[in-house]
Amino acid sequence: MSTATLQTPHIFDGLPLASLAQQDDEARKAAWLAERRTCITGTDIAAIFGLNRFAGPIDVWLSKKAPVAVEANDAMEFGNRFQRPVLEVYSERVGMPIEFADPWTLHRVPGFPLLGASLDARWITGDHRPVDAKTAGWKSSEWGEAGSDEFPTSYQLQLAVQMMATETQVADLAVCFGGYGGHKFARYTMVADPEVQDAIRDKAADWWQKHIIGDVPPEPDGSENYSEYLKVRFARSTMVTKPVTAEVAEWAASLREATERLKVIEGEKERLQQLLKTYLGEASAIPGICTWKNNKNSLKTDWQAAFGDLRSYVLDPAIQKLSTPLDAVSHAVDSNTHDMPGARVFRLAK
């Protein structure tokens, strides 16, 4: 067989098999996304409980009612890319063979199909427990000692739904911590709790009935995402006015009180920051407490002045004889570009 034949891609109905496989994968992903909109998933449940710092009930409601394509940010992309290596390290450290789950399969909870979960991996032998992979920037106070069941509540609820969907009694969380101390691996183990599972079922059923079937948006929760929803939902006003009710008057009074309290808190925050800055003086840090450092210097161009120099070049033939247009532009920009010192930024230690 010739080399040319070896390099020729296999063809099926006029399309390379690799292309067909990619199209099939995209179709399965689209079907998986569509199915997720028909139930509450493991990642949804924490948001519904108000325990997900990245999303709230309004985000879940919108994802079911008016789904939009979510553009992956760096954290999401690298979390997905590092998922398999984290699971491979987990398998080696634990000494247990695992099988990687099909990413486009949604497992429904037996007897309660309103709940569903997508898996990362499972034990091949033993109790066939689900294993979920995560990456974290640093080990915050939400994380307990490796081997414990102390980790963020949003992940606990996610694993609880995975155990319900797989009818298992134990689940593991494999985590790769990053940050300044380098990468560190940790394994956490969670045991199924029937009371937690009952609470999840009750919450999911009530929430779905009220907000999805009843088509009622969740209550405002103070999140930026809810404010963004309102801005889009009610983009334009009309000349209509609404009457004052007792409830509306109470909301307004509470808002005024909250605004006044916030002014006091912001003033106290500024005073305490001033005390720390005064103590620091020209020093850059109080180890473990705070830093007050300058950002890197930057170049800033006065474009108005540069335009004035170029205007002189265009209007004065004598100046034109001394340089080319490109030189004139370079001179105008360079002579009006200056090194600007970086702002000194105050930060409390985490």
What's the token pair of residue 110? 């037996």
Grouping H, G, I as helix, E, B as strand and the rest as coil, residue 312 is helix
Domain spans in the chain, listed from the N-terminal domain onward: 12-213, 242-280, 298-348
pTM of the model: 0.71
φ/ψ of residue 343, rounded to 5: -65, 145
Fold of the 12-213 domain? Lambda Exonuclease; Chain A (3.90.320)
Per-residue pLDDT, averaged over 187-199, amounts to 97
pLDDT digits (tens, 9 = 90+) for 205-252: 999 999 999 999 999 999 999 999 999 999 999 999 999 999 999 999
**DSSP assignment, residue 182?**
-
Residue-wise burial string across 177-201, b where 16 or more C-beta atoms lie within 10 A, e elsewhere = beeeeeeeebbbbbebeeeebeebb
CB 59 within 8 A of CB 46: no
Per-residue pLDDT, averaged over 137-145, amounts to 85
CA 126 to chain centre: 34
Q: Give the range among 5-9, 85-89, 113-117, 310-314 with minimum mean pLDDT.
A: 5-9
More confident residue, 74 or 148: 148
CB 316 within 8 A of CB 328: no
CB 185 within 8 A of CB 93: yes
